[in-house]
Amino acid sequence: MKDSAFLKEMEEASKEQISSCYQCYRCTIGCPVVSRMDLKPHMVIRYIILGEREKVLSSKTIWTCLQCITCSVRCPNDIDIAHVFDTARKLSIKEEMASNRDTWLFDSLFLESVKKHGRLNEIEAILKYKLAKKDLFSDTKMGMDMFLKGRIGIMPHNIKDRKGMGRIFENLKEGTGRDR
Ligand code: SF4
Ligand code: SF4
């Protein structure tokens, strides 16, 4: 069922002029993970314009997106498509339509760690993720390999001005109303 208010809602939440899209496909052509998406990026934008709320918010695409912003940079109408997708993710979580909550969970834990330490503490973020998923052992071999190659450290490498990092997050929240 079409939702005529969806476009306005998404434009207000993302502060992007989604309606200016003229379907040139440049976003889709430049996307490195388009083959893994169920809807191509230009289609998501089109569906938002058409008010296809459920199709967009339950799509795999918004969760497959790497937030690399290649599409945003390529868009001739300056639509920050990556940000539109991030906005759609928040709405899909809120409305319990998300096709993939794992990405959201990992993303939140990643940023929580950066806020706390100034950079990612891999062990802490991974353990929290595995505990939340109640799946401690499925990636043990890969984890050990990464540890032995020095890709995962045990101790956090905190930056000096961690309070400053906390202030950056607070300022972002105040300026954008976004909690991340
Ligand atoms: S690049 Fe921009 S104008 Fe072109 S299809 Fe994608 S969103 Fe629309
Ligand atoms: S930000 Fe997302 S949709 Fe855009 S090019 Fe990167 S992966 Fe593709």
pLDDT attached to residue 175: 55
Beta-carbon contacts of 146 under 8 Å, excluding residues fewer than 6 positions away, are 152
In short, whether 27's Cβ falls inside 6 Å of ligand 1 is yes
Last residue of a domain, one of 73, 94, 115: 94
Q: In which region does residue 25 sit, left (phi positive, over 0), alpha (psi from -120 to 50) or beta (all else)? A: left
The Å distance, Cα 76 to ligand 1 centre, comes to 7
Report pTM: 0.78
CA 82, 14, 8, 74: dihedral to nearest 10 degrees?
-40
- The torsion angles phi and psi of 121, rounded to 5 degrees, stand at -100, 100
Last residue of a domain, one of 94, 126, 155: 94
In short, whether 26's Cβ falls inside 6 Å of ligand 1 is yes
CA 111, 116, 120, 125: dihedral to nearest 10 degrees?
-70
In short, whether 31's Cβ falls inside 6 Å of ligand 2 is yes
For residues 175 and 90, the model is more confident at: 90
Are 84 and 148 within one domain?
A: no
What is the average pLDDT across 118-143? 89
Tokens linked to 124: 């802490």
In short, whether 61's Cβ falls inside 6 Å of ligand 2 is no
Q: Is residue 1 part of a domain?
A: no
What is the average pLDDT across 3-30? 96
pLDDT digits (tens, 9 = 90+) for 69-83: 999 999 999 999 999
Q: How many C-beta atoms surround the C-beta of residue 94 within 10 A?
A: 10
Are 122 and 152 within one domain?
A: yes
The Å distance, Cα 39 to ligand 1 centre, comes to 14
